[in-house]
Chains A and B, each alone.
Chain A
Amino acid sequence: MTGAAPLLDVRDVARRYGGVTAIANVNMTVQAGEITGVIGPNGAGKTTLFNVISGFTPPSEGQVFWKGKPIVRLSTHRIARLGIGRTFQNLRVFPNMTVFDNVSVGALGHIGFPAWRALVPGVGQSRAQAIIRKTWEALDTVGLADRAGELAANLSYGRRRYLEIARALATAPELLILDEPAAGLNDSETAELAGLIRSLNAGGATILLVEHDMALVMGVCRRVVVLAAGRKIADGSPAEVQEDATVRQAYLGASDDGA
Chain B
Amino acid sequence: MDAVLLQGIANGLSLGLCYALIAIGFTLIFGVLNAVNFAHSEVYMLGAFAGLVIIQAFAPPFMAVVFLVAAVGAFLGFGLERIAFRPLRRARDEASLKSRALREATLMSSLAVGILVRELAELRFGGDMQPIPSGAMLNTPIAVGPVILTTGDFYIFGMAAAMLLLLQFLLYRTKIGLSIRALSDDLIGALYVGINTDRVIVWTFMIGSSFGALAGLMVGLYYGTIFPYMGFAPTLKAFIAMLMGGLNNIPGAVLCALLIGLSESLAPEIMPTRWVDLIAYVFLLVTLIFFPAGIFGRKAERV
Partner-B contacts on A (CB < 8 A): 51, 54, 56-58, 76-78, 80-81, 85-86, 88, 92-97, 101-102, 104-106, 108-110, 113, 115, 117-119, 121, 128, 131, 167-168, 170-171
Q: CB-CB contacts of B185-207 with A at 8 A, as 1s and 0s?
A: 11011111111110100010000
- Indicate if the CB atoms of B181 and A109 lie closer than 8 Å: no
Contact for B191 among A76, A85, A131, CB less than 8 A: A76
A-B CB contact pairs (8 Å), 8 listed: A77-B196, A86-B192, A88-B192, A97-B182, A104-B178, A108-B195, A115-B203, A168-B193
**Contact in complex: A105, B193 (CB < 8 Å):** yes
Given contacts A57-B92, A58-B92, A115-B203, are A109 and B185 in contact (CB under 8 A)? no
* Residues of chain B within 8 A of A94, CB atoms compared: 181-182, 185-186, 189-190
Asked if B124 is at the interface of the complex by the 8 Å CB criterion, the answer is no
Question: How many interface residues does B have (CB within 8 Å)?
Answer: 28
Cβ of B33 to closest chain A Cβ, rounded Å = 16
Instruction: With both chains docked as a complex, state the minimum distance between the C-beta of A1 and any C-beta of chain B, in angstroms.
Output: 29
CA distance in complex: A119, B70 (Å): 15
B173 contact set on A, CB distance < 8 A: 121
Shortest distance from the beta carbon of A121 to any chain B beta carbon, whole Å: 8
Given contacts A56-B93, A57-B93, contact A105 B182 (CB under 8 A): yes
Among residues of A, the one whose C-beta sits closest to the C-beta of B195 is: A109
Q: Is the CB of A54 within 8 A of B175?
A: no
Chain B contact residues: over half helix, strand or loop, or mixed?
Answer: helix
Interface-central residue, A51, A58, A77, A96, by most chain B CB under 10 Å: A77
Measured between alpha carbons, how far is A127 from B255 in the docked complex, in Å? 37
| Nearest opposing residue in chain A for B248, CB measure | A96
Q: Are A115 and B181 in contact (CB under 8 A)?
A: no
B residues near A (Cβ < 8 Å) are: 92-94, 173-179, 181-182, 184-186, 188-197, 199, 203, 298
Q: Are A81 and B194 in contact (CB under 8 A)?
A: yes
Whether A85 contacts B193 by the Cβ 8 Å rule is yes
B175 with A92: CB separation less than 8 A: no
- Note all chain A residues with C-beta closer than 8 A to B199: 115
Task: Please measure, in the bound complex, the distance between the C-alpha atom of A119 and the C-alpha atom of B186, giving whole angstroms.
Answer: 23
Task: Check if A56 sits within 8 Å of B92, measured CB to CB.
Answer: yes
Listed residue (A85, A106, A115) with the most chain B CB atoms within 10 angstroms of its CB: A115
Rank and list the top 10 A-B pairs by shortest CB-CB distance, nearest first: A109-B194, A92-B189, A94-B185, A80-B194, A118-B176, A113-B175, A109-B193, A106-B193, A118-B175, A118-B174
Listed residue (B177, B181, B197, B199) with the most chain A CB atoms within 10 angstroms of its CB: B181
The answer to whether B176 touches A119, judged by C-beta atoms less than 8 angstroms apart, is yes
Q: Which residues on the B side are within 8 Å of A96 (C-beta)?
A: 181, 184-185, 298
Would you call B93 and A92 a contact (CB within 8 A)? Answer: no
**How long is the Cα–Cα vector from A93 to B186 in the complex, in angstroms?**
7
Given A113-B175, A115-B176, A118-B175, A77 and B189 touching (CB < 8 A)?
A: no
Q: Are A108 and B191 in contact (CB under 8 A)?
A: no
Closest chain-A Cβ to B105's Cβ sits at a distance in Å of 20
Interfacial chain A residues near B182, Cβ < 8 Å: 94, 97, 101-102, 105
